Amino acid sequence: MQQLLTTEQMRAADQHTIRREQITENDLIDRAAGAFVSLFAVEYPDRNLAIDIYCGPGNNGADGLVIAGLLQQMDYQRLIIHLCDFDGKAQPAFLVKLEWVRKKKLTIRSLGVVSDFEAFPNGIIIEALFGSGLNKPLAREWAELIALINQSGAHIVSVDIPAGLPSEGVINPDWPVVEAELVISFQRPKINFFFPESATAINGFIIADIELDEGFIQQQDGVFHLVTENDIKQIIKPRKRFSHKGTYGHALVIAGHEDTMGAALLASSACLYAGAGLTTAAIPSSGLTALNTALPEVMYVPSLRLSDKASLQSYSAIGAGPGLGKSTETLNKVSLLLDAGKPLLLDADALNCLAQEKTLLEQIPAGTILTPHMKEFDNLFGKHESWWERIETARDWTKRKQFVIVLKNQYTFTINEQGKVFINPTGNPAMAQGGMGDVLSGIILALLAQGYHPAQAAITGCYIHGKSADKLARCQATIRASELAAGIPQILYELTK
């Protein structure tokens, strides 16, 4: 997993690299600026673009100054540097780089008052005002400058992080923040890039490798980890040559109501496609014809027959919730499952029933996987004002009760039993349709049935889910959940080869 760094950890990595390589802070600034420019030139290759570089008085501004000089060397013709220092606190590195860039005979303007702001219409603004580490509201002049940058009509490219956005912690919606078309961030994406509240500030981001010591970074005691495809390839177990349906477990899907059989069909189909050896659907008898027609490979058990622990013992793993409905019957079923002694996944209406009877939260067995979206999470654990607070609550619960939470969003967070957070990078807006959560539950359940550790099943299931959607989104604006499910075998094939 790719370790994500807090601001302090990033500073420590900078200093470690400086000591290890026997270079200076200014050398590292040059390296970062060079990495930025290499990516910028790919994204914006037109050398006649009008580019305004707005530089603050710190190291981020120093990056901006070197970026301007390097762009000049790459034959970008229309460059203007704007020096922004409203309080006279320029840092030493900034002053060194300012002296260097003055020798380049670039156009340099000092922005003493906000009313002096100017930018090329439809040009590029490279924003290098603050960088990471900001943890308080900006002074009035800076807030006004950010507002003018956002209103300029220019394409905004931020250096490392948009000004006003904290790298980690609660994102205050009232704080002014640069609204960047693109962020070119150094070494690692910042933790807050993956939180929904950052959407205004970041339309997209790419990472510039500035060659910090990766060994040192991976040794940091971090909470947040970005899942990579290589991680998933190491987790997924190839199918054995001498194997049979019993090798890959028996999954029980408890889902569906007479009005919501689609949820049961989607979860069951995903379970099949994700490789469970046997899949049984516990559904109302009214759904049997639909099940037999759509999914002849899935076995049927009347949901009413699951009345005690003995009726559950033949299953390798159990998933419950999609389309069940919020009823006394569902609540009783959930209570039974909590005492079944089987690997368990709870989704949708199973979670809604837990929210109605919160005493059951304390009875959730270790290793259980909960897969709420934001509203379901808040119903379970109380209202939250920010996603950062939700993650903190999830970490507290998972560490105390030793279960796993999959908190669904554009970037889905899996929080394991140690309170570590694993961020899923796959998936896209084309998935914003009903049934996607049912498919995700089916995938994770199939992996549970095959014997994967709960956290690994959750992390891997989320990745496969989004990866299937990403493949479809190459040529589709929207994706149906059933299409996504049907693409799972191809994704599994690619990940095991």
Q: How confident is the model at residue 135 (pLDDT cuts 50, 70, 90)?
A: confident
Among 220, 254, 273, where does a domain finish?
220
Collapsing DSSP states into helix, strand and coil, what is residue 190?
coil
- Mean pLDDT over 467-482 rounds to 98
Q: Is 378 annotated as a binding residue?
A: no
CATH number at residue 62: 3.40.50.10260
pLDDT, residue 495, reads 98
204 and 340 in one domain?
A: no
Which tokens belong to 74?
A: 């790459």
Among 164, 186, 220, where does a domain finish?
220
Q: Is 427 annotated as a binding residue?
A: no
259 and 174 in one domain?
A: no
361: pLDDT strictly greater than 90? yes
Q: Which residues pair with 124 in a beta bridge?
A: 51, 155
What distance in Å separates the CA atoms of residue 265 and residue 438, rounded to the nearest whole number?
Answer: 9
Q: Is 313 annotated as a binding residue?
A: no
456 and 479 in one domain?
A: yes
pLDDT, residue 251, reads 99
CATH number at residue 451: 3.40.1190.20
206 and 161 in one domain?
A: yes
Please state which of the ranges 107-116, 186-195, 252-261, 408-417 shows the lowest mean pLDDT: 107-116
Among 220, 237, 259, where does a domain finish?
220
Q: Is 300 annotated as a binding residue?
A: no
pLDDT, residue 398, reads 99
87: pLDDT strictly greater than 80? no
88: pLDDT strictly greater than 80? no
**Structural domain boundaries enclosing 155:** 2-220
Q: How confident is the model at residue 169 (pLDDT cuts 50, 70, 90)?
A: very high
Q: Is 48 annotated as a binding residue?
A: no
- Mean pLDDT over 258-278 rounds to 98
* Number of folded domains that form the chain: 2
456: pLDDT strictly greater than 90? yes
Pairing status of strand 182-186 against strand 155-159: parallel
- Mean pLDDT over 354-360 rounds to 95
136: pLDDT strictly greater than 90? no
Sign, CA dihedral 157-162-167-168, equals negative
Helix axes 374-381, 348-356, angle to 10 degrees: 20
Q: Is 263 annotated as a binding residue?
A: yes
What distance in Å separates the CA atoms of residue 435 and residue 269, rounded to the nearest whole number?
Answer: 12
309 and 186 in one domain?
A: no
User: What value does the mean pLDDT of the chain take?
Assistant: 96
pLDDT, residue 42, reads 98
What distance in Å separates the CA atoms of residue 43 and residue 54, rounded to the nearest whole number?
Answer: 19
Q: Is 244 annotated as a binding residue?
A: no
398 and 372 in one domain?
A: yes
Q: How confident is the model at residue 124 (pLDDT cuts 50, 70, 90)?
A: very high
Determine phi and psi for 38, rounding to 5 degrees: -60, -40
What distance in Å separates the CA atoms of residue 351 and residue 246, rounded to the nearest whole number?
Answer: 30
Q: Indicate the DSSP class of residue 18.
A: H
Q: Each residue of 410-433: b (16+ CB within 10 Å) or e?
A: ebbbbbbbebbbbbbbbbeebbee
- Mean pLDDT over 214-231 rounds to 95
252 and 349 in one domain?
A: yes
Q: Which residues pair with 159 in a beta bridge?
A: 184
- Mean pLDDT over 107-121 rounds to 89
272 and 233 in one domain?
A: yes
pLDDT, residue 112, reads 82
Amino acid letter, 248: Y
429: pLDDT strictly greater than 80? yes
Q: Is 213 annotated as a binding residue?
A: no
Q: Is 240 annotated as a binding residue?
A: no
106 and 250 in one domain?
A: no
Task: Convert the pLDDT of each residue in 43-84 to its tens digit.
Answer: 999 999 999 999 999 999 999 999 999 999 999 999 999 999
Q: Is 408 annotated as a binding residue?
A: yes
Q: How confident is the model at residue 85 (pLDDT cuts 50, 70, 90)?
A: confident
447 and 393 in one domain?
A: yes
pLDDT, residue 137, reads 84
pLDDT, residue 397, reads 99
Owner of token pair 């590195």: 93
121 and 151 in one domain?
A: yes
- Mean pLDDT over 235-255 rounds to 97
Q: How confident is the model at residue 113 (pLDDT cuts 50, 70, 90)?
A: confident
30: pLDDT strictly greater than 90? yes
Amino acid letter, 429: P
197 and 280 in one domain?
A: no
